[in-house]
Each structure stands twice: as structure tokens, then as C-alpha cells.
Amino acid sequence: MNNIVLEQTDRTRIHRLPERGNYDRATIDAILDEALICHVGFVVEGRPVVIPTIHARVGDHLYFHGSPAAGMLRTLRGGLDACVTVTLLDGLVLARSAFHSSMNYRSVVVFGKAEEVSDRDEKLRVLEALVEHVCRGRSADARGPSEMELKQTLVLRVPIDEASAKIRIGPPKDDAEDYGLPIWAGILPLALIPSEAISDNTLAVPEYVSKYRR
């Protein structure tokens, strides 16, 4: 795809360490697609609420779902302002000074109005995408939603047009005069790693599970 660079807005412009900011859809999409969960923020009676949930990107929208009984989704349903944030932690940055110690990370913030997906076909496509987002290959195996389950599932979407990524990579950056200190410095890479699957029945573990990688 041709890379699209999103227009910066007052909300998405990275003020603090602007060199970490990135507005390319390709970069933003890759982070959204790798992250297993997002944190959705919304406002209830003037105060903030932040809830973790599963998401999936399909094209130019970020989708998430839940039960119509869940507080968050009920609140968002009317087309409320949302902020969806996704963070991938890549490692600890252990600088010589506490001040410059940090983390390596890739994060995305998407601002937008969350609206309900009511079209049945779009809803089905999104539910499949959510399963595939979590575990590629799974949707061909898992039993799909019944009409009743479809009704019980609320799907919401936010357009990915007011968004930015923020990325820190690489070694610590210490003050010049600290490089001579006899203090070990470096990075400790971190990654979300699967261990062996725990089966709930006696069937063979599918390859998309046994070879799962994020």
C-alpha cells in the first residue's frame, strides 16, 4: 500500500521528545496489529475511565467489542469521544543516570468518536477479524457466532484518522559527562513470549497455537 501520513492535530502532535513521533499509517497500523490489547479511554460524568479490551484493525477502522451490558460499551454507544491507546513494551533502558533511564516501546494513540457497528455483514467480518487478530488461523476452527450471540455482542469502531505513534528504540542516551562512570548501562530486551499450550481436550494442538508468535 502507498504509505499515508496522517495530518497532525493539537491532540496527536508529539510535544515531548518530538523525534519519537510518527504519523505514518504503515507504522501506526503495524503497532495496532501487533498489540493484543488496547486501553480505551472515555469520559463519564466529566471524569476519565480507562478499560483494557481486545481490538482489531480492519482497513481504516479500529474495532473493539463486548457485551451490551458492559459499562464501557454502553457509555460509548451513543457515539462518544474515545481515546484508544496501544503500547508494546520492547525493553528496559538502563542508563547510567536514573534521569535518563527509560523503556523502549512502540505506542499508538487514536482519538475519535466511537460508533456502533449495526450492519450484520460488517459485524460478522469484524468478529472474525477479532479472532484472527488474537490468533491467526483460529477463525477457521472456532465455532462462529450464532444469531443470538451476534445480538449479544456490541461492536464499536473508531476511524484511524486522528492518530500518532511514539517510538523509542536503541541504547541509553546519557549525559556526556556520565559515560565515564563505572556503571553498567545497556538495554534488557523484553517480549511477550508464549509457553506450551494447556489443552482443554485431547485433540492435537493446532500448529497456529504450537508455533504461535506475536
Contacts of its own copies in 124-183 (CB under 8 A): 127-128, 130-131, 134-135, 138-139, 141-146, 149, 152-153, 171-172, 178-179, 181-183
**How many Å apart are CA 86 and CA 205, to the nearest integer?**
30
- Binding status of residue 64 toward its own copies by CB under 8 A: no
**How many Å apart are CA 76 and CA 49, to the nearest integer?**
11
Q: How many residues bind its own copies (CB under 8 A)?
A: 93
Question: H or E segment at 128?
Answer: helix 120-134
**How many Å apart are CA 193 and CA 214, to the nearest integer?**
8
Pair 125, 145: CB distance under 8 Å: no
Q: How far is the CB of 11 from its own copies (least distance, A)?
A: 7
Q: Which of 67, 78, 79, 119 binds its own copies (CB under 8 A)?
A: 67
Bridge-partner residues for 164, per DSSP? 109
Cβ proximity to its own copies, 4 vs 80, nearer residue: 80
Q: How far is the CB of 166 from its own copies (least distance, A)?
A: 9
Q: How far is the CB of 118 from its own copies (least distance, A)?
A: 18
